[in-house]
Structure formats: C-alpha cells, structure tokens
Amino acid sequence: MLIAAFAAASMALVALIAGVVVVANTPQQQSSPGGADLSALRDQELLARPAPAEIDLVDHPLYDMAIPPPIDCDLPDLDVESDESWEGFSREAGACLDELWAPVMEELRLVPDLPDVIVTDQGLDSDTEEAFTLAYYESDVATITVILPNVREVSEAVPADEREVVWLALMGHEYAHHVQNSTGILRVSHDLRRSAGSEEDELDTLRRTELQAECMAGIALRGIVDPGGDALDVVNRHFNDGGDLDTHGSATSRSQWLEAGWDGGTVAGCNTYGAEADQVG
C-alpha cells in the first residue's frame, strides 16, 4: 500500500510468480513375476509434463463465488508504538482473513498455503519522500509484510479510534493479492505486464490488479467489521480521498472499487479486468 505525498493511497507490491504445475515422477522399470518387461506397454504420454491451467482474467470461476459470510473476529487493541502489538494485531488480522476467505477457496477446490504475516523495521529502497510502502505481498513465498516505520508515520494522522479499521483494510488489500495468487490471477497479470507493448498497457494491467485487490479489501471489511458502522467511510477518508496514482488508479476509482466489494453479492463485483477503461483510470 502506497501513500503519495503522505495522503492516503493504497499500494501493494506485486512480486514475480511462477505458474504451478504438477510434474509426474517417472516410474522405475520393474519386471513382472514371470520375468516379462512391461515398460513397453506403458503409455509414455502419461509421463509428459502437463501444461499449466488456462486462466481467464475476465471470465474466472472466482467471480461466480458468493461473498463469504461474516465471521467473528476479535482483533486485539493496537498500540502503534509497540512492535509486539503490531505483531499480534497483524497475525490476528491474517488469521481472520484466512477464515473469511476459506469458504471461497473450498468452493473453488483450492487448498493454498496460508500466507505468513510478518512485521519489519526495514523500508524499501524504492520508497521516496513522496511515496512509501506500508505493506506488501510476496507471492513466491506467500508472505505479507508490514513496514512499521511507515505505518507508524501514517498513524499520526489517523485518530486513535479509527486506526484498527484502517490497518485492517490494509491487511485486507494485501490478503487480496494472496487470493489473486492462489487463483492464478496474479501470475497471468504479471505475464501480461511483462509482455505489454507499451508502458500505458502495462500500467493498465497493474491498475486492474490493484483495484481488484482494493475491491476485495471491501469484501473483507464487510465480513469482519460491523456493516452498520462507518468503517467504509473511515477507510475511504484516509486512503482514497486524494492522491491519484498511475499504478493504483485515481482516488475516485479506488473509492468506487472498495465500495463495490463492500456492497456486492458475489465476487463478480470485483471483476476489474472486465471493466471499461474509464472505470480503472
């Protein structure tokens, strides 16, 4: 999640990922009790490396899934100055997100490894005075990392009674990248960016990926916090009221996609890859 000019704007870094394929082990030749060599009777095509599954970003089975039902999530109080408090809050938020998205994964018959959640005092070399990373997801190791100095700095502008929902939204965005990774969407998105014919095409794909994660953060918020409260307004006020970004979309787009996840009945509401260009600008 990226903050531009210290205004609220979310970002998650998309790491390079590789497709997951199943490789068959070549069986050892064995003789039958009668001494005949049966290896010639085996179908060698069965030993071939299967092709990776085809992933359609616009027409993906994920979009047919119902919004996961609400869960009980007892997040601990967050003391933003305490490393231990951040660790406990981040781990518990991750566990709640695991539970929330589990029905969707089960319906899709996916059994992904659950992501690790860690905190660090180390920022990124790419951070600048105008923009810096709050947290990021690494798909190759399935890890969400929260950068403590940066979230503490932003916390200074967030009222104490609103911090927990704001940082839950951050975790929901990063976890959404894990959902994208588990369903193959992130791999295809990376491939499209790598093969893009222009910088604008690459940025368009990146925006669609990030805005989908923002939409899924809306799904997560709705499933964890009181839907009758002001959580959506709080998150939009701190993250999506200003700071247009080429990589993550305009403040208006981010706000609209967060609300689409909050209000949706199925994950189809987060199909940014099938959206018109002006919806992901």
Stronger pLDDT, 48 or 6, i.e. the higher one? 48
Residue 42 in any domain: the answer is: no
Are the C-beta atoms of residues 213 and 1 closer than 8 Å to each other? no
Residue 195 in any domain: the answer is: yes
Residue 25 in any domain: the answer is: no
Q: What is the DSSP letter of 218?
A: H
Q: How do residues 212-251 score in pLDDT, each as one tens digit?
A: 999 999 999 999 999 899 999 999 999 988 788 888 999 9
Are the C-beta atoms of residues 25 and 15 closer than 8 Å to each other? no
Residue that the structure tokens 């295809």 belong to: 188
> How buried is 24 (Cβ within 10 angstroms: 0-12 exposed, 13-18 middle, 19+ buried)?
exposed
> How buried is 233 (Cβ within 10 angstroms: 0-12 exposed, 13-18 middle, 19+ buried)?
exposed
Nearest of 76, 138, 145 to residue 117 by alpha carbon: 145
State the residue range of the domain holding 133. Answer: 2-15+56-279
Residue 270 in any domain: the answer is: yes
Residue partners of 239: CB distance under 8 A and separation at least 6: 1, 8, 9, 10, 166, 169, 254
Task: Output phi, psi for 118, to 5 deg.
Answer: -135, 160
Q: How do residues 65-113 score in pLDDT, each as one tens digit?
A: 999 999 999 999 999 999 999 999 999 999 999 999 999 999 999 999 9
Question: How many domains does the chain fold into?
Answer: 1
Torsion angle, alpha carbons of 213, 95, 221, 103, to 10: 80
Beta bridge partners of 146: 119, 135
The pair of three-digit structure tokens given for residue 223, joined into one six-digit string: 């499933």
Residue 69 in any domain: the answer is: yes
Residue 50 in any domain: the answer is: no
156-187 in b/e form (b: 16+ CB < 10 A) is eebeeebbbbbbbbbbbbbbbbbbbbbbbbbb
**Which pairing describes strands 143-147 and 116-120: parallel, antiparallel, or unpaired?**
parallel
Residue 68 in any domain: the answer is: yes
Q: How do residues 121-164 score in pLDDT, each as one tens digit?
A: 988 877 665 567 999 999 999 999 999 999 999 999 999 999 99
Residue 49 in any domain: the answer is: no
